[in-house]
C-alpha cells in the first residue's frame, strides 16, 4: 500500500510542477520588439537620477578648497591619490538611508523610474560585488547592499529600477587607478594616450560587475553608462557590452553612452553605427524637437553629488517648465538628487520634489504618454499631444483673458485640467484660435488647457 501511495505522490508533484509552470529551468523572458521594449520608457517621461557614493561624505570640500563642478569628482578635483581616497569608502556608514522613503519621494514627485549610481568614477561599488572588495559589503562599515534595497523598494512601489555604471574607474589598477596621482583627464582627451591594461579591466572586472547587477537584482529597466569619453574604451567594447546586456536581460534599455557615438553634452549620436537606445543631452535641452529617443539629465543645483556649498538651486517653477519643454520636444527628463553621507536627500531637493508632485498630480495626463506636438512652440508656453488631444501648457498666462492658439488647431472642446467640467469658449479666426480663459491662472506654475480636436 505504502509504495502505491509514494508513486501517486511523486506523480502528483510531477503533474503539479508541469501544470504550475515551475519548470526546473528558469522561464525564458519573451524578447520584445524594440518598440514594445521602449514603450514603458517613452510613456514614463520623468525619472529620478541619484548620485550617491563615498564622495557624498566629502561634499566637494577639502580644507578651504572647494571642488569646481560636480562634487562627485572630489577624488580628481581635490587631488586625492588612490591611497588617500580609500579612507572615504571605509567611512561610508549612511545610517539614515531608507530605500523605501527614497522611492516614495520619487513616486510622489511623479517620477516613474530611478537610475542610481551603482559605481561612479571613484570605483566604489554600492552592491555586494563578488568581483571586487572595494564595495559597500567589504570595505565600508555599512555592510548593506544599497542596490538590493533600492531594487526591492522599486519593485514594491512599482517604480522601474535602473542603474548607472561608470566605465571610468579611478581606483582599479587596470583602469585609471594605475595612473593616479598622475592621471590627467585632459591627457585622456588625447587618443594616443591608451592604457594597455584597460582591456583586462573591461573583460575581467567591468563585464562581470555589469553581469552581477543584471543577474542578482531582478528586472532592470535601464542600464545608464557613463565615462564613454576615455580613449581606453573602444566602440568594439561598446557594441560587445550592449549585446552582452541584451543577452542577459533582453528587454533592458541601454543609453548611448554604452558606445562611442555621443556628440558631447548635446548627447545625441553623431553619424555612424553606434549601440545604444537613446540619446543623453546633459544639463541642456535641445532647441527643437528630436524624433528619436532621448532623455535630458539635469541637476537641481550645480552638482550631481552632494555639495552643501552649492546653493545655485533651480526653482520648482523652472524645473516644471523644463519637464514640459522636454516632453513637448519628445524627450524624457532625468532629474538628479545628490543624497548626503548620512543617506538624506537635501531639504532643497525635497521641496522641489514635493512641488513637482503637486503639479504632476493635477497635470500628469498632459505629460505621461504624451508626445511632441506638431505645432511650433508658442511664445506663451508649450504644446504636448496625446491621441486626439492637444495640451496647451501656459507658462505666461494672458492678462487679457484670451489665449491665442495655433490657427491649425481644430477645437472640438476646450477645458482647463484643473476644471474639466467647465467648457471654455473658443473662436477660430484666419490667423489664430482664440480661447476665453479666466483672468487669473488656475495653476501657480504652468496651467494646462486641454484641447479635444475635431
Q: Please say which residue, 225 or 274, places its beta carbon nearer to ligand FHN.
A: 225
Q: Which is nearer to ligand FHN, 72 or 149 (CB)?
A: 72
The DSSP-derived string for 62-90 is ETTEE-SS-GGGHHHHTT--HHHHTTTGG
Applying CB under 6 A, does 297 fall inside the site for ligand FHN? yes
Secondary structure of residue 272 in the 3-state scheme: coil
For residue 276 the three cell numbers come to 545604444
Residue whose CB is less far from ligand FHN, 70 or 331: 70
Considering only the C-alpha atoms of the chain, give the largest distance between any 2 of them, rounded to a whole number of Å.
93
Cα separation, 111 vs 368, in Å, equals 10
Give yes or no for a contact between 263 and 270, defined as CB atoms under 8 angstroms apart. Answer: yes
* Phi and psi torsions of 158, nearest 5°: 60, 45
Shortest gap between Cβ of 132 and ligand FHN (angstroms)? 19
Burial of 198 (C-beta count, 10 Å sphere; 0-12/13-18/19+): buried
Report, in Å, the least distance between residue 147 CB and ligand FHN: 17
- What is the smallest separation between the CB atom of 130 and ligand FHN, expressed in angstroms? 25
CB atoms within 10 A of CB 303: 24
- Per-residue string for binding with ligand FHN, 206-245, x by CB under 6 A? --------------------x-------------------
| Residue 230 φ then ψ, to 5° | -70, 145
Closest to ligand FHN by CB, 226 vs 321, is: 226
- Report, in Å, the least distance between residue 246 CB and ligand FHN: 22
Full strand arrangement of the beta sheet holding 160-166 = 253-254, 222-226, 160-166, 113-119, 46-50, 332-337, 295-298
Give whichever of 72 and 358 is closer to ligand FHN, judged by the CB atom: 72
Stretch that binds ligand FHN, among 13-21, 69-77, 369-377, 423-431 (CB under 6 A): 69-77
**333 in Cβ contact with 46 (< 8 Å):** yes
Kindly tell me which residue out of 47, 56, 58, 72 binds ligand FHN, with binding defined by CB under 6 A: 72
Q: To which residue does cell 524645473 refer?
A: 319
Least separation in angstroms between residue 212's CB and ligand FHN is 21
DSSP state of 319: H
Piece in contact with ligand FHN (CB under 6 A), picked from 1-9, 67-75, 169-177, 211-219: 67-75
Q: Which of residues 313-372 bind ligand FHN (CB under 6 A)?
A: none
Q: How many chain residues interact with ligand FHN (CB under 6 A)?
A: 7
Stretch that binds ligand FHN, among 19-27, 70-78, 86-94, 244-252 (CB under 6 A): 70-78
Would you say 100 and 156 are in contact if contact means Cβ atoms under 8 Å apart?
yes
Which cell numbers in the block locate residue 300? 537641481
> Could you give the 3-state DSSP secondary structure of residue 128?
coil
Is the preceding peptide bond at 19 cis, omega within 30 degrees of 0? no
Of 322 and 406, the one with the shorter C-beta distance to ligand FHN is: 322
Closest CB 209 distance from ligand FHN, rounded Å: 17
| Least Å from the CB of residue 454 to ligand FHN | 43
207 CB burial (10 A radius; 0-12, 13-18, 19+)? middle
Nearest to 405 by CA among 416, 423, 390: 390
Q: Which is nearer to ligand FHN, 70 or 238 (CB)?
A: 70
Q: Which is nearer to ligand FHN, 108 or 231 (CB)?
A: 231
Q: Is 223:252 a contact under the CB 8 Å cutoff?
A: yes
CA distance 56 to 304: 10
Least distance from C-beta 72 to ligand FHN, angstroms?
A: 5
* C-alpha to C-alpha distance for 198 and 234, rounded to whole angstroms: 10
Give min distance, CB of 66 to ligand FHN, in A. Answer: 16
Min dist CB 51 to ligand FHN, Å, is 6
| Closest to ligand FHN by CB, 73 or 395 | 73
The interface region with ligand FHN, picked from 65-73, 230-238, 314-322, 337-345 by CB under 6 A, is: 65-73
3-state secondary structure of 388: coil
In the complex, the smallest distance separating the C-beta of residue 305 from ligand FHN, rounded to whole angstroms, is: 7
Tell me which stretch binds ligand FHN (CB under 6 A): 8-16, 66-74, 179-187, 342-350.
66-74
Write out the residues near ligand FHN by the rule CB under 6 A.
70, 72-73, 226, 282, 297, 304
Amino acid at each position: 500500500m505504502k509504495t502505491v501511495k509514494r508513486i501517486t505522490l511523486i506523480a502528483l508533484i510531477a503533474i503539479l510542477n508541469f501544470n504550475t509552470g515551475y519548470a526546473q529551468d528558469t522561464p525564458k523572458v519573451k524578447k520584445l520588439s524594440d518598440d514594445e521594449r521602449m514603450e514603458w520608457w517613452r510613456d514614463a517621461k520623468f525619472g529620478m537620477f541619484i548620485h550617491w557614493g563615498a564622495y557624498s561624505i566629502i561634499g566637494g570640500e577639502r580644507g578651504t578648497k572647494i571642488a569646481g563642478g560636480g562634487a562627485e569628482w572630489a577624488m580628481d578635483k581635490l587631488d586625492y591619490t588612490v591611497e588617500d581616497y580609500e579612507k572615504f569608502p571605509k567611512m561610508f556608514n549612511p545610517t539614515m538611508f531608507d530605500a523605501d522613503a527614497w522611492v516614495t519621494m520619487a513616486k510622489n514627485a511623479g517620477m516613474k523610474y530611478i537610475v542610481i549610481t551603482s559605481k561612479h568614477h571613484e570605483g566604489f561599488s554600492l552592491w555586494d560585488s563578488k568581483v571586487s572588495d572595494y564595495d559597500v559589503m567589504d570595505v565600508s562599515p555599512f555592510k548593506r547592499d544599497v542596490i538590493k534595497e533600492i531594487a526591492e523598494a522599486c519593485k514594491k512601489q512599482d517604480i522601474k529600477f535602473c542603474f548607472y555604471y561608470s566605465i571610468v574607474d579611478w581606483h582599479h589598477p587596470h583602469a585609471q587607478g594605475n595612473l593616479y596621482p598622475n592621471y590627467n583627464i585632459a591627457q585622456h582627451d588625447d587618443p594616443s594616450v591608451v592604457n594597455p591594461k584597460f582591456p583586462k579591466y573591461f573583460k575581467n572586472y567591468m563585464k562581470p560587475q555589469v553581469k552581477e547587477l543584471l543577474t542578482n537584482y531582478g528586472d532592470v529597466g535601464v542600464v545608464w553608462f557613463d565615462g564613454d569619453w576615455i580613449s581606453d574604451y573602444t566602440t568594439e567594447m561598446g557594441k560587445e557590452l550592449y549585446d552582452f546586456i541584451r543577452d542577459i536581460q533582453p528587454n533592458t534599455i541601454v543609453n548611448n553612452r554604452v558606445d562611442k557615438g555621443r556628440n558631447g553634452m548635446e548627447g545625441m549620436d553623431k553619424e555612424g553605427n553606434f549601440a545604444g537606445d537613446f540619446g543623453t543631452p546633459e544639463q541642456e535641452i535641445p532647441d527643437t524637437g528630436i524624433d528619436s529617443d532621448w532623455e535630458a539629465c539635469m541637476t537641481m543645483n550645480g552638482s550631481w553629488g552632494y555639495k552643501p556649498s552649492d546653493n545655485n538651486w533651480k526653482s520648482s517653477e523652472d524645473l516644471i517648465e523644463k519637464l514640459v519643454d522636454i516632453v513637448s520636444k519628445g524627450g524624457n527628463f532625468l532629474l538628479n538628487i545628490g543624497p548626503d553621507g548620512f543617506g538624506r536627500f537635501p531639504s532643497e531637493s525635497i521641496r522641489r520634489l514635493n512641488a513637482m508632485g503637486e503639479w504632476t498630480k493635477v497635470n500628469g495626463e498632459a505629460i505621461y504618454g504624451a508626445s511632441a506636438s506638431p505645432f511650433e512652440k508658442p511664445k506663451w508656453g508649450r504644446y504636448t499631444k496625446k491621441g486626439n488631444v492637444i495640451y496647451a501648457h501656459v507658462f505666461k498666462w494672458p492678462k487679457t483673458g484670451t489665449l491665442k492658439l495655433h490657427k491649425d488647431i481644430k477645437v472640438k472642446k476646450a477645458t482647463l485640467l484643473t476644471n474639466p467640467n467647465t467648457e471654455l469658449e473658443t473662436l477660430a479666426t484666419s490667423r489664430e484660435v482664440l480661447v476665453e480663459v479666466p483672468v487669473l491662472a488656475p495653476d501657480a506654475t504652468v496651467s494646462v488647457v486641454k484641447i479635444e480636436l475635431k
